[in-house]
Structure 1
Amino acid sequence: MSDRFIILSGCSGGGKSTLLEALHRRGHAVVEEPGRRIVQQELAAGGTALPWLDLAAFARRAVEMALADRAAMKDHSGLVFFDRGLIDAASALQVAGGEPVLATLAETHRYNRQVFLTPPWPEIYEGDPERRHGFEAALAEYQRLERTYPLLGYETVILPKAPVEARADFVLARL
């Protein structure tokens, strides 16, 4: 387990990326969401490993990228904040009917026991070219992750609906 590896997960469009940017401005190492990077790559290349075309292929790539992200940060001495990551990707892969790898990967590649979840926040939710699903799909994903993390031995901490700097203060105070 790496207590230095902190997951920011939760509802799509709930402010994870904005919080990640705030933590980076404070000098912390951060890792951007695998899913968003994959969507950008696939759209640029005309690929099909997109969540709205082939969720299983997308999730397999997200698992691979999340494992590579962890390996790249293994020697970093300070806190590392991950926008989503391995557990989210493996959970999506299971939902897509892919390989049932969630329990194995979750046991082998542990993160800090506290996982910070952005709650559903319809007032700030926005779709974009990389986030094509609606709020209802984001809510369903949130509910799945909110159940999944405790089953894997993590303590979920729901972030307050507050300005980003207050959220960053909250996360750092909890750690």
Structure 2
Amino acid sequence: MSGPIRAVVTGGPGAGKSTLLAELARRGFSVEEEAARAILQAPDGMTLREHDPQGFADAMFAQELASFERAGAREGATVFDRGFPDTVGFLRLEGLPLPEAMDRICRDVRYSGPIFRAPPWQEIYRSDEERIQDWAEAQASDGAVCAAWRNYGYDLIDLPFVSPAERADFVIERLG
């Protein structure tokens, strides 16, 4: 037995990741929600993001580690809304240094399932109170996080531009 399956959905903001995870959860899959959004929704989360982006990245990474550990106790597959390399992409986009410990964890603590990319999808993109990027920034974010995943040796599988149910079917088929 090779252990639990840890798959990830990555990509820029507003590309349908959370909607896909909600559909997978509705179908009985274990999912881990996006750390960044949870932090932004917490008291002072937006302030942390705006005034201390390094602290925001550290908080995201700590939550990603906790969700990775939680998933290890589960049978079957867990699908994550983003993962460790997403934080690295954020740091690169912000022009901030990558802490050595974070880089080491990204190299040594590995996701075992497929890494799905929700490509930028302008027709569904909407900003909101936590998703403050404009369309160009959303595209840049996608580029940064995808580069980080590839830098750590992961291959990305692009999700098709289809309904959430069809995207869920696509993911489930590849999870085996």
| TM-score under structure 1 length normalisation | 0.90
Counterpart of 1:85 in structure 2 is 83
My pick for the range that moved more, 68-77 or 20-29, is: 68-77
Given that residues 4 and 74 in structure 2 are in contact (C-alpha distance below 8 angstroms), is that contact kept between their aligned partners in structure 1? no
**How many Å apart are 1:95 and its aligned residue?**
4.2
**How many Å apart are 1:105 and its aligned residue?**
1.5
**How many Å apart are 1:89 and its aligned residue?**
1.5
Q: Report runs of 4+ in structure 1 exceeding 4 Å deviation.
A: none
Spell out, residue by residue over 1:70-95, the C-alpha distance to the aligned partner (whole angstroms, 9 max, x if none).
Answer: 12221111111110122212332344
Counterpart of 1:22 in structure 2 is 23
- Report the AA paired with residue 131 of structure 1: R
Stretches of structure 1 lacking an aligned partner (at least 5 in a row) = none
**How many Å apart are 1:12 and its aligned residue?**
0.8
Given that residues 10 and 82 in structure 2 are in contact (C-alpha distance below 8 angstroms), is that contact kept between their aligned partners in structure 1? yes
**How many Å apart are 1:55 and its aligned residue?**
1.6
Q: Within 1, Cα distance between the matches of 2:26 and 2:122?
A: 26
Task: Specify the SS of the correspondent of 1:104.
Answer: helix
Matches within 5 A, 1:17-56: 17-41=18-42, 44-45=43-44, 48-50=47-49, 52-56=50-54
Task: Specify the SS of the correspondent of 2:40.
Answer: helix
Given that residues 88 and 148 in structure 2 are in contact (C-alpha distance below 8 angstroms), is that contact kept between their aligned partners in structure 1? no
> CA 1:99–1:18 in 2, change beyond 3 Å: closer, same or farther?
same
Q: Within 2, Cα distance between the matches of 1:123 and 1:63?
A: 30
- Report the AA paired with residue 99 of structure 1: L
Given that residues 89 and 146 in structure 2 are in contact (C-alpha distance below 8 angstroms), is that contact kept between their aligned partners in structure 1? no
> What is the alpha-carbon root mean square deviation over aligned residues?
1.9
Q: Within 2, Cα distance between the matches of 1:53 and 1:34?
A: 18
Given that residues 4 and 76 in structure 2 are in contact (C-alpha distance below 8 angstroms), is that contact kept between their aligned partners in structure 1? no
| TM-score under structure 2 length normalisation | 0.89
**How many Å apart are 1:113 and its aligned residue?**
5.0
Spell out, residue by residue over 1:9-37, the C-alpha distance to the aligned partner (whole angstroms, 9 max, x if none).
Answer: 01210000000000001101111100000
Matches within 5 A, 1:16-165: 16-41=17-42, 44-45=43-44, 48-50=47-49, 52-96=50-94, 97-101=96-100, 102-112=102-112, 114-165=114-165
Spell out, residue by residue over 1:113-134, the C-alpha distance to the aligned partner (whole angstroms, 9 max, x if none).
Answer: 5210001101100011111111
Q: Within 2, Cα distance between the matches of 1:8 and 1:155?
A: 12
Q: Within 2, Cα distance between the matches of 1:75 and 1:82?
A: 15
- Identity, % of aligned pairs? 34
Q: Within 1, Cα distance between the matches of 2:167 and 2:18?
A: 12
Q: Within 2, Cα distance between the matches of 1:46 and 1:103?
A: 24
Aligned length: 172
Task: Specify the SS of the correspondent of 2:51.
Answer: coil
Q: Within 1, Cα distance between the matches of 2:64 and 2:119?
A: 22
Q: Within 1, Cα distance between the matches of 2:161 and 2:109?
A: 30
Q: Within 1, Cα distance between the matches of 2:131 and 2:3?
A: 30
Q: Within 2, Cα distance between the matches of 1:94 and 1:67?
A: 19
Task: Specify the SS of the correspondent of 1:80.
Answer: strand
